[in-house]
Structure 1
Amino acid sequence: MESEYKLLSGAMVTLALATATLVVVPYLQLQTVQPSPGLKPYTEQQLRGRQVYIEMGCVYCHSQQPRSQSFAPDFQRGWGRAPVAGDYYYDHPHLLGTMRTGPDLFNIGARQPSVDWNLGHLYQPRAYTPGSNMPAFPFMFELKDKADPGDKVVNLPPSYAPPNGQVVVATPDALALVDYLIGLNHTYPVHPDATLPTTVKDQLEPAAEGAANE
């Protein structure tokens, strides 16, 4: 019985240490982070599109975290600089992603700012990127014989246009998702020290100075 208590106590201590290291300490370090200069809050339409992004599972194939130039060729791929904590100030939950079946989307709004391109790419990715393994999302669009007033018609390449003179019309969810994607533009400059909150830098700088003087 005594060994069981020791095992349980050890497990609880390990869990407490893991929670402190992975949850409590990062929270304390980042709670003072402010939005990066140049970062804009999401609009209501973009927030709706962000929810569509989550519901569609886009985060399973796309990341939103380019890696440092010293670590990976993400910058050479055109994905932009490495992010800082303030870049995610308005993101709840964060959509960093864990894998890249497709390209990183941290700056897709800068790379592809066209509404028509993004809508067409959602409807049929291979019409715009030959060989793409991204699934098509035709259910986010409607086929109509004639567009109604206010409809957003998707201009597809002729070989992918629907037959019988029909038109492809974007649904509100498709329009919101594209608005969110175009809003992903983090090309504004950030200070090199912005990678850490002020409180953490204050703790690290004296230690660095002490090491330099040794």
Structure 2
Amino acid sequence: MICHLSLLVVFNLFVSQCHGGCAEVDSMTEAVAGEGFLLGCISCKKREEVSARATVDWHFKPLGVEDFKPIFHYEHPSANIMDEGFSDRLEWHGTKNSDIQIGAIYIHNVTFNEMGTFRCTIHRTLFLRQHNENVTVEKEVELTVVAVANRELTSVIAEIMMYVLIVVLQLWLIGVLIYCYKKISEEYEARETHKALKAQAVLAKDNCDGVQLE
């Protein structure tokens, strides 16, 4: 179930790669140590017909630290890792053109040192007919790093409901089979009773005819 949910989130994060639309989906917040993790950041334009250019900056503040430090900058087509602690571990997974709406980055080999707050800042310039407009959007992700993936409550509930549904369907099927069996048995007994009564009636009639003939 978790894999399905994760794939769904990733699909929504990349939906603006197509021209059909943009959906602002919150990033996942729990990573597993030693595995990869996608930090999501989406800022949709209010008017798709307006052309724009954007840059993305990621900052990180570890637990117990007051100030953010810059770790990543993207300005199409260049991506720069700005912190040695993330050297060769950050990869751009956002929009692959200058009109950026998805500013997601992927962290390889997550460590417990990545627990803290990640801030995504999208600086966008809208090219309007009368003038250009600058817009800045900030989104934060509170990341937790665990040794083993935790099963989300929604997935546990969904799995329990699935088993309950299976049991209910099985009981319903058994009930239908019992009902059908009783129904068929009653119809069979009714036919046999009707045949017996009919045979008795014929026999009684024959006896009556025989007595009258004597």
**Structure with greater strand percent:** 2
Answer yes or no: same fold by TM over 0.5.
no
**Structure with greater helix percent:** 1
**TM-score normalised by the chain length of structure 1:** 0.23
**TM-score normalised by the chain length of structure 2:** 0.23
Structure with bigger RCO (C-alpha 8 Å, 6+ apart): 1
